[in-house]
Amino acid sequence: MNVEEGQTVEEWAPVTTVRSDKATVEITSRYTGVVKKVHYAVGDEAKTGSALIDIEVADGVADDVPAVSNNDDAPSAPSPPPPAPAAASAPAPAPVAAAPVASTPAPVPQAPAGRKKSLASPAVRRIAMQHKVNINDVHGTGRDGMVLKGDILAFIEGGKVVAAPAPVSSSALVGSGASIAQDRTIDIKGFAKVMVKTMTAATAVPHFGYCDEIDMTALVALRGSLKDQAEAAGVKLSYMPFMLKAASIALTKYPVLNSSVSADATQLTYKGAHNIGIAMDTKDGLVVPNVKNVQNLSIVEIAAELNRLQKDGAAGRLSSSDLSGGTFTLSNIGSIGGTYASPVLVLPEVCIGAVSKIQRVPRFGENDEVIATSIMRVSWSADHRVIDGATMARFSNVWKDALENPGSMLLHLR
Ligand code: CAO
């Protein structure tokens, strides 16, 4: 929440950020007025359509700022006009998922007896706390005497502040006998909460696992020769676009791997588009946006779309369209490390592959000579209710062949 009870809020000012299964949306205020009630705390699950806050406007308590629908990207409020530029002191929108809570709460500055409690946003209060400033000692220059960030900074510059003590490093505690290990419990929220739901459902499906190793030597050389050229065109070219294209080629040959199973497991739908999901590690946790219609895209077009998804994922800006409609998934856990993995299906998809780090290792050549080879391992998981092991292995062989002979992918250029 960017507002608290008693605070004045401007029309269209950011009130909070709401995260649904599919997207993260900033909710703005419908009215200018004083916040009378805040119905939810940070991290609470808001009921679709219910009030988030009550605002008192000039002629009484207005209705409310409603919670966003689980299925929508946008709040149900009327489309806002372009928001006015935020003042430098305006609070930055805080995500719904809170940072882990410290086990010892920081002291909240108390208003001296008989004095009015100062108005300030949570962000400004945080700044005051960080600098050990009692907010009630600061003269607020904002509307209705609201204390702004600039007021705190001016107060500090005026020299009326005791510097915060330097944090005690954990190494300083070693050997001192002090206990530093404390349990702490946090709520599972945001994308992690979605992961609880989706992964629990997926483990009810019998997974068939299949692993192989891919000789990436030729592809490492090819990517090396194209990387600068792509970069000059504004595209970061990693190995993923080649893996996605190779998957699309293999899916064309084995379309059952691009199918989905109905919830009651009575029907199988062969999907027309190759919307390939990429497991992505973001600051908010695991997300799986997908590149749409890979079958129609060149490798550089896949790379450009992947770059966009990575950028939007890092900024927490992925749309519900980015996160829905996937038909097959690849997880490049190798960008972090590892050799083998056991990926879990993204239902209702029937196949997911996880790839390892590419490593230089010795392998035998045709004449038993030892050759330094760039090897990547792949671990596939398939829905064993509808995919048999032989189909999985044949699919993997086509994918492997495309990556080991990257020139062959030219034949599939659009
Ligand atoms: N082996 C060796 N090098 C690799 C590699 C691999 N498997 N994967 C990536 N790299 C290299 C890239 O080529 C790039 O090198 P350059 O700087 O020379 O171009 C560098 O590592 C950084 O790549 P990247 O991670 O930014 O881009 P990507 O397209 O390879 O991967 C993405 C994108 C989104 C898949 C990745 O960033 C990511 O989030 N990986 C984690 C996935 C994950 O968490 N999976 C687990 C899911 S289950 O919880």
Return the best residue to mutate from 238, 342, 375 for the ligand 1 pocket (most ligand atoms within 8 A of CB). Answer: 238
Structure tokens at 5: 């009870």
Average per-residue pLDDT for the chain: 81
pLDDT in tens, 157-184: 776 554 444 444 444 444 555 667 999 9
> H-helix or E-strand containing 51?
strand 51-57
For ligand 1, say whether the CB of 287 is within 6 Å of any of its atoms.
no
pLDDT of residue 294 exceeding 70, the answer is yes
- Which residues does 16 contact at the CB level (< 8 Å), separation at least 6? 1, 2, 3, 26, 27, 52, 93, 94, 96
Nearest atom in ligand 1 to 343's CA: 48
pLDDT category of residue 242 using cuts at 50, 70 and 90: very high
Cα Rg of the chain, angstroms: 27
For residue 336, name the pLDDT band (cuts at 50, 70, 90): very high
**What pLDDT does residue 123 have?**
78
Structure tokens at 266: 């009575």
Residue 394 has pLDDT above 60, yes or no: yes
Q: Which residue has the tokens 């020769």?
A: 225
Ligand 1 neighbour 318 (Cβ under 6 A): no
pLDDT at residue 139, as a whole number: 84
Mind listing the pLDDT tens digit for each residue in 28-40? 787 888 888 888 8
Verify whether ligand 1 is closer than 6 Å to residue 9 (CB atom).
no
Q: How far apart are CA 332 and CA 100, in angstroms?
A: 27
| Beta carbons within 10 angstroms of residue 376's beta carbon | 23
- Which residues are known to be catalytic? 384, 388
The three-class DSSP label of residue 126 is helix
**Residue 113, pLDDT above cutoff 70:** no
CA 358–ligand 1 middle distance (angstroms): 10
Q: Judge if the beta carbon of residue 99 lies within 6 A of ligand 1.
A: no
Residue among 316, 315, 318 nearest 305 (CA): 318
CA 7 – CA 37 distance, rounded (Å): 10
Averaged pLDDT for residues 90-118 = 37
Please state which of the ranges 72-76, 213-217, 318-322, 367-371 shows the lowest mean pLDDT.
72-76
pTM: 0.66
Instruction: Please give the Cα distance from 54 to 353 (Å, whole number).
Output: 48
Q: Which two tokens stand for residue 317?
A: 């800006």
Asked if residue 88 has pLDDT above 90, the reply is: no
Secondary structure of residue 348 in the 3-state scheme: coil
The model's confidence at residue 94, banded by pLDDT at 50, 70 and 90, is very low
User: Is residue 203 scored above 90 in pLDDT?
Assistant: yes
Distances (CA, A) of 65 to 37, 58, 254, 276: 11, 17, 49, 37
- Quote the pLDDT of residue 149: 81
Average pLDDT, stretch 71-76? 37
Distance in Å, CA 302 to ligand 1 centroid: 15
Q: Which of 361, 353, 358 is nearest to 396 (CA)?
A: 353
> Which of 21-25, 150-154, 329-333, 401-405 has the lowest average pLDDT?
21-25
pLDDT at position 369: 97
The reply to whether ligand 1 has any atom less than 6 angstroms from the CB of 358 is yes
- Partnered with residue 290 across adjacent β-strands are 277
- In this predicted structure, the answer to whether residue 354 has a pLDDT above a threshold of 80 is yes
How distant, in Å, are the alpha carbons of 50, 254, 261 from that of 331? 37, 20, 21
Ligand 1: which of 332, 346, 358, 375 to mutate, most ligand atoms within 8 Å of CB? Answer: 332
Q: Can you read off the two tokens belonging to residue 124?
A: 């400004």
CA of 361 to the centre of ligand 1 (A): 20
Percent of the chain whose predicted confidence (pLDDT) is above 90: 53
